[in-house]
Amino acid sequence: MAKRKKERSIQTNGSRAVDNTRGSPLWAFNYFRSQVLTNLLNDLVDHEGAGLSPESCDKVTRLLEYFVNATTDIPSGGLVTGAIYPTVDRFAVLYREWNEIHGEHEQAIEDRRYKLHELRQQRQEISNKARSLQYEIANDLDRQLLKKSYEALGDLITLVPQSFKNLTEAIKEFLKRGGGK
């Protein structure tokens, strides 16, 4: 009887099983979407009053574009789920719109605050879609481009760690947990 249960669980898990153990590519992707993007949003809250410097903005844009590129090989999960790439790309577009709001006057701050709200919603959309595409992400993620995303993140926090305190902590935790191998 135990043998039958074992066979059933193998059949049940078989073709859609994924490796999400620490250090795996799927784990690195999930860490990026859940921790890196969230901590980026936390840092944007800290810069709501004036925005980011052009140099910092360029680094964040590069980081997000690499992440977008890493998702382009991931197939859709079907008609209902669709591909994750457009959802991630929309986050990058919203970030650029957030940073294109210039000035420290009340209207600019309010506009950045609203754009941040949209970014939060889009990050949630990424998470929702990623949860339903774990198998596709595990098998089709462009690992080199995801690695480039993390390298761009390292460049950003090396350049201006004081501006990205939350991201700095997120990358430290990533490395501590076995990421970057």
* Residue at 7 is within a domain: no
Residue 110 lies in a domain: yes
Question: Does 103 reside within a domain?
Answer: yes
For the chain, give the longest Cα–Cα distance.
Answer: 72
Q: What is the pLDDT along the chain (181 residues), one digit of tens a residue?
A: 444 443 333 334 456 788 778 888 899 999 999 999 999 999 999 999 988 988 899 999 999 999 999 998 888 766 566 889 999 999 999 999 999 999 999 999 999 999 999 999 999 999 999 999 999 898 888 888 888 999 999 888 998 888 899 999 999 999 888 876 6
Q: For residue 69, what are the domain limits?
A: 24-176
| Domain presence at residue 12 | no
In this prediction the pTM is 0.85
Q: Is residue 17 part of a domain?
A: no
Distance CA 115, CA 97 (A): 7
Number of domains comprising the chain? 1
Instruction: Pick left, alpha or beta for residue 178 (phi over 0 → left; psi -120 to 50 → alpha; otherwise beta).
Output: left
Residue 16 lies in a domain: no
In a domain, 10, yes or no: no
- Does 112 fall in a domain? yes
With CA atoms as reference, report the closest residue to 75 among 15, 122, 142.
142
